[in-house]
């Protein structure tokens, strides 16, 4: 297994991040790095990365669900917690933790939009997190105690294995006092203080304070207990689901690439192969596009390429309604595209019965004529999304969909 590093995202997503390598030897002190996400990605290349997200941007809570079936719990949790949460539960992601001694299950709640933003920024930098974790739960934890930490002028309080809260540091003393009063007989025997600049915050509690010499990031690197973390990468954000999402469109993508060949040169596959026998240069182009479309194909004689490509397209047609819809829709529009003079396709995408085309064409009159040709095809809705003149040509985006979709 690759060595593990911890990367913490700041409250301000446009700001710098910090990172540290997890160390097994308690007598060693890890060096903490700071910089941009791109710089972090360079430093963490080849390492397993656990990403800490600001606990101030999410809610840690618990719920009593009378079942141990995880799927049933996940289905019930949003409704059980709905009254505690001001936001629409459909806009929220719920990640499950462990059951506590009281039978309640710990839950982390975060906005789906924020999850998307975090993951988008990480992926753009080339970082694929192994886990996405509230930063307060990465603080060291000792049974019988609570842990306090300060980072970026935010206070973090870990009150249990999978519980705690976060706030602006200015409000930490007041919230800590209230939390201790609410804990009553279960209040901690001591407080672990990590990087607390104002020692009076912890001392005011009247409970024994044990100060740790590390920074928050160094303390996290020493005793990270992964089984006690709540990983936000669950459900729609799980690694399995993300891999599935990347693989699911492969049939439609392969079909799109195959039909792109037909549309781009304005010929059928049969014509393409026939002409390739007459022109050596064209044969090389056919072979290259064929290999780009079907990278797993074995070396194949060009005389067999037509049969193989048709077989592949047949498989794609049998792969599901999404593929059939794509091929049917392209079959309707390919002739108009291929016969339009001065047209060059730049990009093509397909989703939910709809094709989006990015193209260049010689002038606006040609674009309008193309739209009219497509619009008269029964069962199609055609819309020009944008059109702009540049360098003696027109760049345009077309949206084409079946009226039944």
What's 366's domain CATH number? 3.30.1360.100
Task: Tell me, yes or no, whether 279 lies in a domain.
Answer: yes
Let me know whether 124 and 266 are in one domain: no
Task: Tell me, yes or no, whether 327 lies in a domain.
Answer: no
Name the least confident of 273-277, 391-395, 401-405.
Answer: 273-277
CB count, 10 Å around CB of 39? 15
Find the helix or strand (DSSP H, E) in which 373 lies.
helix 364-375
Let me know whether 180 and 277 are in one domain: no
Let me know whether 369 and 225 are in one domain: no
Task: Tell me, yes or no, whether 332 lies in a domain.
Answer: no
For 139-143, the CB contacts below 8 A with 24+ separation are: 139/164, 139/192, 139/194, 139/216, 139/219, 139/220, 140/192, 140/194, 140/212, 140/219, 140/220, 140/222, 140/223, 141/223, 141/225, 141/228, 142/192
Name the least confident of 144-148, 197-201, 340-344.
Answer: 197-201
Please report how the helices 250-265 and 280-293 are oriented relative to each other, as an axis angle in degrees rounded to 10: 160
Let me know whether 192 and 121 are in one domain: yes
User: Where does the pLDDT of residue 304 fall: very low under 50, low under 70, confident under 90, or very high at 90 and above?
Assistant: low
Identify the pLDDT of residue 387. Answer: 87
- The tokens of 320 are what? 């599901």
Check whether 29 has a pLDDT greater than 80: no
Let me know whether 153 and 227 are in one domain: yes
Let me know whether 38 and 167 are in one domain: yes
- Per the structure, the complete domain to which residue 293 belongs is given by 249-320
Strand partners, 270: none
Give the pLDDT confidence of 345-355 residue by residue, as tens digits.
Answer: 888 887 777 88
Identify the pLDDT of residue 258. Answer: 56
- The tokens of 85 are what? 């949460």
Identify the pLDDT of residue 139. Answer: 95
Task: Tell me, yes or no, whether 329 lies in a domain.
Answer: no
pTM beyond cutoff 0.85: no
Let me know whether 255 and 231 are in one domain: no
For 255-292, give the DSSP string: HHHHHHHHHHHT--HHHHHHHHHH-HHHHHHHHHHHHH
Give the pLDDT confidence of 196-225 residue by residue, as tens digits.
Answer: 877 777 777 788 999 998 899 999 998 788
Q: In the chain, how many domains are there?
A: 3
Task: Tell me, yes or no, whether 330 lies in a domain.
Answer: no
- The tokens of 22 are what? 């997890």
Let me know whether 315 and 233 are in one domain: no
Task: Tell me, yes or no, whether 347 lies in a domain.
Answer: yes
Mean pLDDT of 108-123: 95
Let me know whether 64 and 205 are in one domain: yes
Let me know whether 262 and 383 are in one domain: no
User: Where does the pLDDT of residue 27 fall: very low under 50, low under 70, confident under 90, or very high at 90 and above?
Assistant: low
Task: Tell me, yes or no, whether 100 lies in a domain.
Answer: yes
Q: Which of 243, 266, 282 is the last residue of a domain?
A: 243
Give the pLDDT confidence of 291-300 residue by residue, as tens digits.
Answer: 655 666 655 5
For 329-372, give the DSSP string: HHHHHHHHHHHSTT-EEEEEEEETTEEEEEEEES-HHHHHHHHH
Selection from 180, 173, 183 nearest residue 203 by Cα: 173
Give the pLDDT confidence of 223-255 residue by residue, as tens digits.
Answer: 788 889 999 999 989 865 554 444 455 455 555
Let me know whether 270 and 213 are in one domain: no
Whole-angstrom distance, CA of residue 208 vs CA of residue 44: 38
Q: Which of 196, 216, 243 is the last residue of a domain?
A: 243
Let me know whether 38 and 119 are in one domain: yes
Strand partners, 360: 344, 395
* CATH at residue 68: 3.30.420.380
């Amino acid at each position: 297994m690759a060595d593990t590093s911890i990367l913490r995202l700041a409250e301000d997503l446009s700001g710098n991040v910090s990172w540290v390598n997890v160390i097994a030897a308690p007598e060693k002190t890890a060096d903490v790095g700071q910089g941009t996400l791109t710089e972090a990605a360079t430093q963490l290349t080849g390492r397993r990365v656990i990403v800490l997200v600001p606990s101030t941007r999410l809610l840690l809570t618990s719920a009593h669900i009378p079942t141990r079936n995880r799927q049933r719990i996940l289905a019930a949790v949003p409704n059980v917690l709905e009254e505690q949460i001001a936001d629409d539960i459909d806009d929220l992601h719920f990640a499950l933790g462990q059951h506590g001694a009281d039978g309640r299950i710990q839950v982390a709640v975060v906005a789906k939009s924020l999850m998307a933003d975090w993951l988008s920024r990480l992926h753009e930098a080339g970082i694929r997190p192994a886990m996405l974790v509230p930063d307060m739960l990465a603080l060291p934890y000792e049974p019988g105690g609570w842990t306090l930490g300060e980072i970026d002028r935010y206070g973090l309080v870990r009150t249990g294995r999978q519980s705690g809260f976060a706030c602006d540091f200015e409000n930490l003393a007041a919230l800590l006092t209230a939390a201790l009063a609410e804990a009553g007989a279960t209040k901690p025997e001591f407080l672990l203080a990590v990087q607390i600049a104002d020692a009076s915050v912890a001392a005011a509690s009247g409970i024994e304070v044990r100060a740790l010499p590390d920074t928050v990031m160094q303390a996290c690197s020493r005793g990270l207990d992964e089984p006690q973390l709540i990983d936000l990468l669950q459900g729609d954000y799980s690694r399995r689901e993300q891999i599935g999402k990347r693989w699911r469109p492969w049939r439609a993508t392969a079909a799109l690439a195959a039909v792109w060949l037909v549309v781009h040169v304005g010929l059928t596959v049969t014509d393409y192969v026939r002409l390739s026998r007459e022109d050596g240069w064209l044969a090389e182009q056919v072979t290259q596009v064929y290999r780009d479309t079907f990278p797993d194909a074995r070396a194949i004689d060009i005389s067999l390429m037509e049969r193989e490509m048709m077989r592949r397209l047949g498989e794609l047609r049998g792969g599901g309604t999404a593929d059939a819809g794509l091929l049917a829709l392209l079959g309707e529009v390919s002739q108009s595209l291929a016969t339009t003079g001065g047209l060059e396709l730049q990009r093509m995408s397909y989703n939910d019965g709809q094709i989006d085309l990015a193209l260049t064409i010689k002038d606006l009159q040609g674009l309008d004529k193309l739209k009219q040709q497509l619009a008269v095809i029964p069962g199609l809705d055609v819309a020009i999304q944008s059109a702009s003149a540049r360098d003696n040509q027109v760049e345009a985006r077309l949206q084409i969909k079946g009226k039944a979709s």
